[in-house]
Amino acid sequence: MSWIHKILNGIRALVDRRRAERELDEELRGFVDASVEHKVAGGMGREDAIRAARLELGSPTAVKDAVRDAGWESWLDDTARDIAYASRSFRRSPAFTIVAVLTLGIGIGANTAIFSVVHGILLKPLPYKDSDRIVRLYMNMPASESPSKRPLRAARGLTAQQIDEVRQRVRAFSHVGTASASLRGLPSIEDAARLQVASVSASVFEMIDAKPLLGRVFTMQDEVPSSPPVIVLSHTAWQRYFGGDPAIVGTDLAMDSVLGPRTEYHYTVIGVMPADFTYPDRQTMFWMPFRTATPTGAPQAGPLVARLADGVSVEAALAELTPLLRALRPEAPATTYELAFDQRELVAPIRPALLLLMGAVGFVLLIACVNVANLLLARSASRQREMAVRIAIGAGRSRLVRQMLAESLLLAALGGIVGTLLAIAGVEGLKTLATTVTRIDISFTGFPRVDSVGVDATVLAFTLMTCVIAGLFFGLAPAMLHSGTDPVRGLKGEVDSQALVFARFGVRQWLVVAEVSLAVVLLVGGVLLARSFFMLATVHPGYTAEGVLTFQVTLPNARYTNQQLKLFAEDLSTRLRAVPGVQSAAYANQLPMVNLTDTGGGLYLSADASRPPTPLGPEIRLVSRDYLQVFGTRVVAGRGFQERDGASAPRVMLVNQATVNAFFGGDSPIGRQVFVGRDVVPWEIVGVVEDVRQYGLDRAASSQYFVDLRQWAGASVVFPVSPYFAVRAAADPESLMGSMRQAVKAANSEAVPFNIAPMTALVDNSIARPRLYAALLSVFAASGVMLALIGIYGVMAYTVTQRTREIGIRMSLGAARNSVLGLVLRQSLTLTVIGVICGLLGAGLTGRYLESLLFGVQALDASTFIAVAAAFIAVALLASYVPARRAANVDPLVALRCE
């Protein structure tokens, strides 16, 4: 209990300082009195007794100080006084304070911003319970067992029966179910045409311990195909689309399909989830039960989602699961299985880049701290006297160190405040830049979990810790230096011993070299990423995106035959061509950037039974005849599609250059006959088309073959997903949107355009990540370089000041101005060159972390290294020029006179 006493007494002493002081005074006086009486009683004379008693007491102030230090509150008191003193001295030198605080603000702010991103995306657990125990099954399929005839890793579905087998047999899982995403629309509600819906097993709600706000969640009964269709609402959907109606449970809800045949679904609302419930992400608005089969009896499949039982590891679960899966899926003996956590899967593509950015921004902070340390050391020259006086009065070494640290921590705190403000603004900007359009048909190339990024309590705690560490880092050196001051010399006014000056200056020089190396590493990284992005953005994708507007159209497909749909597409493209400002219009089964891989049945070189069982590889492109014009894809040999290639004309086909190289050995295939699928009627290859990069600018073109849709008589539905329309405009494609909608409505009043986007937007979307990385690293590199240059300037200016006498002597002995200039510049050059060499070495060592982010450029690119080195040296010399000129302009008379 004594510590409670301690605290209370300390607080009491703080609060009533004066009373404590008075009492102590009185006690000391009483002490002296008692001492005098005691000595007098022992035979001393009164005068002698008084003197002896005073001597015995010693300095009352010292005693009072010793008593004060015995209480813990004195530490608090001292610190408060230190901070007040520090802020006064900062106010006296505003230039230093502003530069130091801004420098720290940049360093700490950048770190806070990037940490917000790292924390929100990588570190924060997903917003539902036990997200770290819920795994999803992934299959690694070799080409022979994959649907696209290409090795594939995906979360393919298991049938309801297989899922049930897993549930019963695998003990490593506490819950087993399935969860997949789908889209639905709310009819006649603006902005509710495409809402994210999750189809989940009843066990999924149990897995994450989900309790509804109103009504109930799913049970196993709801999974039975014959039970009435039900739906659960999210809190957001309930508020936004249904006005928070408390009587919503039990009402009927109609929703439209979004993909595939247009259907209207009816559900009964059975529950509403609370406001803080999310699964699997914030965009999911509704939950439907996973049905084990369709109403017609076809079994349904879904990806396996399971919760690990407590204490079970992923490896153990996989070991138990794999043999069962092999037994359940004998048709896929070569497929391997994997259990992955949703969070890790989600962020895996951007994890390396984020960690790299975190490292880069750490460099920036280091450079900033080094700069501030240099500034403090420079300032220390003028504080010798002050320190000497303090030591003479009796301050202990530790007291001085404490005071210097209080100053540095105050600077760090101010820098932290500025940095946090910068970071809050910066994070908002980053979130805007990082938000990309998400479309189901396009591979996701944006940033996941951007909505969970923000400057929250954890981030602020990180900032605080950064401030403290930074403050200690740059404050320790000046503190140790000062506490070792010789008071006698300092009081006499001697600036310092020569040795100490050069020793300190040596430290500053090494600090500058360190700064330069860090800045060079950042600069090399920034230049490499920028070059890589530039190469990516200017790669020729095989088409011209500028001027092209793309969109899709929905029709209630169920009511139209294939033939009618084809006629509609033709009719629409004719109407579009008639719109003023339109150069050409086309439609196809997919556009560049659309993530669809279809071989159309496969291409074969012959039709008889003797042909090899596996087809040649090319993917099919079903296009209208103007497709190549709209996209500006060149015909390299032979001809493109023409009017005459109609339904009854001889069947013709185009292939791309990659197909020629891969399957025809580079020889011209024009005139050759090929067969598609089981069809025995041949197609003649009449032209070769340039390669189009389908899946992204960084991926080489796959082999493709083109067929005019008029000639395609595939038995299946012609357009499995609504056809893509593309229109080339003479001017800005967005200006055509109004006329486009009119044309669509005119072609069919039931038709609705969607997924409208200029092609350039789709292309930009695909390079959003490299663009952001390049932008961020360039900003960091620029800050680092700027800070390093300020550091160089500062050190050179200091050198010149320190060596004014020496320069004066040199000049009076006959040195020319130019030689003095050269002297200073040479010194700066030496520092810079050493720093640059260290920096290039560092860049070489850390290059491999950059490899995965680069396109078209190597991490150890010689030209980049040389260019960076040359540029940095040039700019450094420029920064040193001003102090060098000042040195050259020194008047020897003045210099020799000043002490």
By CB under 8 A, residue 123 contacts other proteins:
no
Shortest Å distance, C-beta 398 to other proteins:
17
Residue closest to 557 by CA, chosen among 745, 746, 721: 721
> Residue 268: CB partners within 8 Å, gap ≥ 6?
228, 229, 230, 231, 250, 251, 252, 253
Residue closest to 331 by CA, chosen among 558, 510, 158, 451: 158
449/435 Cα distance (integer angstroms) = 10
The residue with tokens 């022979």 is 144
Between 64 and 93, how does the x/- string for binding to other proteins read (CB under 8 A)? Answer: --xx-xxx----------------------
By CB under 8 A, residue 25 contacts other proteins:
no
By CB under 8 A, residue 1 contacts other proteins:
yes
**Pairing label, strands 652-656, 683-689:** parallel
To the nearest 10°, the Cα dihedral for 754, 758, 762, 767? -150
Q: Which of 16, 25, 37, 546 binds other proteins (CB under 8 A)?
A: 37
426/776 Cα distance (integer angstroms) = 11
Bridge partners (DSSP) of residue 551 are 725
Shortest Å distance, C-beta 35 to other proteins:
6
**Pairing label, strands 724-729, 652-656:** unpaired
By CB under 8 A, residue 18 contacts other proteins:
no
Binding segment for other proteins (CB under 8 A), chosen from 57-65, 343-351, 749-757, 759-767, is 57-65
Q: Give SS3 for 725.
A: strand
Shortest Å distance, C-beta 59 to other proteins:
8
Binding segment for other proteins (CB under 8 A), chosen from 49-57, 221-229, 402-410, 650-658, is 49-57
Q: Which is nearer to other proteins, 27 or 315 (CB)?
A: 27
By CB under 8 A, residue 46 contacts other proteins:
no
> Residue 479: CB partners within 8 Å, gap ≥ 6?
400, 401, 404, 405, 408
By CB under 8 A, residue 26 contacts other proteins:
yes
**Pairing label, strands 157-159, 214-215:** unpaired
Q: Which is nearer to other proteins, 71 or 352 (CB)?
A: 71
Q: Which is nearer to other proteins, 5 or 91 (CB)?
A: 5
Binding segment for other proteins (CB under 8 A), chosen from 2-10, 364-372, 381-389, 582-590, is 2-10
Shortest Å distance, C-beta 75 to other proteins:
14
Task: Compute CA distances 709 → 17, 588, 632, whole Å.
Answer: 94, 8, 19
Three-state SS letters, 534-577: HHHHCCCCCCCCCCEEEEEEECCHHHCCHHHHHHHHHHHHHHHH
Count of residues touching other proteins (by CB under 8 A): 29
By CB under 8 A, residue 57 contacts other proteins:
yes
Binding segment for other proteins (CB under 8 A), chosen from 34-42, 359-367, 421-429, 801-809, is 34-42
Binding segment for other proteins (CB under 8 A), chosen from 31-39, 297-305, 494-502, 788-796, is 31-39
By CB under 8 A, residue 34 contacts other proteins:
yes
Cα 777 from chain centroid?
Answer: 11
Binding segment for other proteins (CB under 8 A), chosen from 63-71, 186-194, 228-236, 328-336, is 63-71
Q: What is the DSSP letter of 119?
A: I
By CB under 8 A, residue 52 contacts other proteins:
yes
By CB under 8 A, residue 31 contacts other proteins:
yes
**Pairing label, strands 230-233, 264-272:** parallel
Q: Which is nearer to other proteins, 4 or 813 (CB)?
A: 4
Rounded to 10 deg, the angle between the 397-434 and 384-393 helix axes is 130
612/604 Cα distance (integer angstroms) = 8
Shortest Å distance, C-beta 23 to other proteins:
7
**Cα angle value 194/196/201 (rounded, 5°):** 145
Neighbours of 798 (CB within 10 A): 18
Binding segment for other proteins (CB under 8 A), chosen from 58-66, 339-347, 443-451, 697-705, is 58-66
Shortest Å distance, C-beta 74 to other proteins:
11
Q: Which is nearer to other proteins, 31 or 855 (CB)?
A: 31
Two tokens, residue 374: 């240099």
Shortest Å distance, C-beta 46 to other proteins:
13
**Contact between 3 and 65 (Cβ < 8 Å):** no
Q: Which is nearer to other proteins, 17 or 540 (CB)?
A: 17
By CB under 8 A, residue 841 contacts other proteins:
no
Bridge partners (DSSP) of residue 757 are 550
Q: Which of 14, 50, 63, 102 binds other proteins (CB under 8 A)?
A: 63
Shortest Å distance, C-beta 4 to other proteins:
9
Total residue count of the chain as it appears in this document: 899
Q: Give the sign of the dihedral formed by CA 247, CA 250, CA 255, CA 257.
A: positive
Binding segment for other proteins (CB under 8 A), chosen from 27-35, 722-730, 753-761, 821-829, is 27-35
Alpha-carbon radius of gyration of the chain: 38
Q: Which is nearer to other proteins, 398 or 563 (CB)?
A: 398
Shortest Å distance, C-beta 3 to other proteins:
9
Shortest Å distance, C-beta 21 to other proteins:
13
Q: Which is nearer to other proteins, 74 or 595 (CB)?
A: 74
Q: Which is nearer to other proteins, 9 or 236 (CB)?
A: 9
By CB under 8 A, residue 58 contacts other proteins:
yes
Shortest Å distance, C-beta 801 to other proteins:
45
Q: Decide: residue 122, CB within 10 A, 0-12 exposed, 13-18 middle, 19+ buried.
A: middle
465/471 Cα distance (integer angstroms) = 10
Give the amino acid at 434: A
By CB under 8 A, residue 395 contacts other proteins:
no
Bridge partners (DSSP) of residue 198 are 181, 287
Q: Which is nearer to other proteins, 63 or 491 (CB)?
A: 63
By CB under 8 A, residue 17 contacts other proteins:
no
By CB under 8 A, residue 38 contacts other proteins:
yes
Q: Which is nearer to other proteins, 20 or 824 (CB)?
A: 20
Residue closest to 137 by CA, chosen among 151, 153, 121, 150: 153
525/857 Cα distance (integer angstroms) = 12
**Cα angle value 692/697/700 (rounded, 5°):** 60
394/390 Cα distance (integer angstroms) = 7
Residues 366-385 that bind other proteins (CB under 8 A): none
Q: Which is nearer to other proteins, 37 or 734 (CB)?
A: 37
Shortest Å distance, C-beta 315 to other proteins:
54
Binding segment for other proteins (CB under 8 A), chosen from 51-59, 406-414, 686-694, 840-848, is 51-59
**Contact between 171 and 180 (Cβ < 8 Å):** no
**Contact between 862 and 527 (Cβ < 8 Å):** no
Question: Given the rule CB under 8 A, which residues bind other proteins?
Answer: 1-2, 5-6, 9-10, 23-24, 26-28, 30-31, 33-35, 37-38, 52, 56-58, 62-63, 66-67, 69-71
